[in-house]
């Protein structure tokens, strides 16, 4: 069955990039990119990622297997317009997706067809529509929410996400773009419950896959009340 999945590399304190780029100067020299490149270093070192981009070299290890698996599992992608705008030129004529990509945007644009099986369709009627269109063409594979972080939160908030994989890098950024923040619009006594289904550890990164169980109320437990040993004082 087709699942809607998302994965993000984050620091130990939950940031997927440095502070949001304000447009002054070159993004590549910004604090946002510095944080982003640090938490995705494990990806660019992986042979599977480099091969997909047409680059030589890289490490053939468990991290590379995680990258290869993610590419193989995706039958279609959903991404945000900011991610597309940042990647359109660097991805070139043969983007790494090799599948239909649905870009959530407020700015209409004609579909863009690239070599290697990648096409970009620009969806202006919301994230739910983009996910639905991606499902329709994913076949027996998954719909992968490619990012960025804001789009992942939108899909999670809407209850459309089945699986979330976090690649936790052992670094503390201290500030930046946090993946799971107040945009999730949770109530004061509400949470989104997750169930860990796989953990792969490596000195560079820990891959934690969660099944998304959905929203649930935060309830008081019974600690300190009845049932247990009682303390007495003299």
* Low-confidence residues of the chain: pLDDT under 50: 231
**Ramachandran class of 32: left when φ > 0, alpha when ψ lies in -120 to 50, beta otherwise:** alpha
Distances (CA, A) of 59 to 8, 34, 55: 20, 22, 12
CA 110 remoteness from chain centre:
26
**Amino acid 225: pLDDT:** 72
**Amino acid 224: pLDDT:** 72
Q: What is the pTM of this model?
A: 0.92
Q: CA 50 to CA 55: how far, in whole Å?
A: 5
Residues 148, 80 contacting (CB under 8 angstroms)? yes
**Amino acid 228: pLDDT:** 56
**Amino acid 31: pLDDT:** 96
**Amino acid 230: pLDDT:** 52
Query: Which superfamily is assigned to 4-217 in CATH?
Result: Dihydrofolate Reductase, subunit A (3.40.430.10)
**Amino acid 222: pLDDT:** 83
């Amino acid at each position: 069955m087709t699942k809607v999945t998302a994965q993000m590399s984050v620091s130990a304190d939950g940031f997927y990039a440095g502070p949001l780029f304000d447009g002054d100067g070159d993004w590549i020299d910004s604090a946002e990119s510095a944080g982003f490149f640090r938490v995705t270093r494990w990806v660019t070192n992986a042979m599977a990622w480099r091969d997909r981009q047409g680059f030589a070299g890289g490490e053939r290890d468990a991290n590379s297997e995680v990258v290869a698996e993610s590419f193989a599992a995706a039958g279609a992608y959903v991404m945000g317009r900011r991610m597309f705008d940042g990647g359109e030129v660097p991805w070139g004529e043969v983007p790494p997706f090799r599948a239909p990509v649905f870009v959530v945007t407020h700015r209409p644009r004609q579909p863009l067809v690239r070599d290697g099986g990648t096409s970009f369709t620009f969806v202006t009627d919301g994230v739910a529509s983009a996910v639905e269109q991606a499902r329709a063409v994913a076949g027996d594979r998954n719909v992968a929410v490619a990012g960025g972080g804001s789009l992942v939160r939108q899909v999670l908030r809407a209850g459309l996400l089945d699986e979330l994989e976090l690649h936790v890098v052992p670094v503390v950024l201290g500030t930046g773009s946090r993946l799971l923040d107040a945009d999730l619009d949770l109530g004061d006594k509400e949470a989104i419950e997750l169930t860990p289904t796989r953990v792969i550890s490596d000195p560079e990164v820990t891959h934690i896959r969660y099944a998304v169980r959905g929203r649930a109320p935060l309830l008081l437990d019974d600690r300190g009340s009845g049932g247990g040993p009682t303390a007495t004082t003299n």
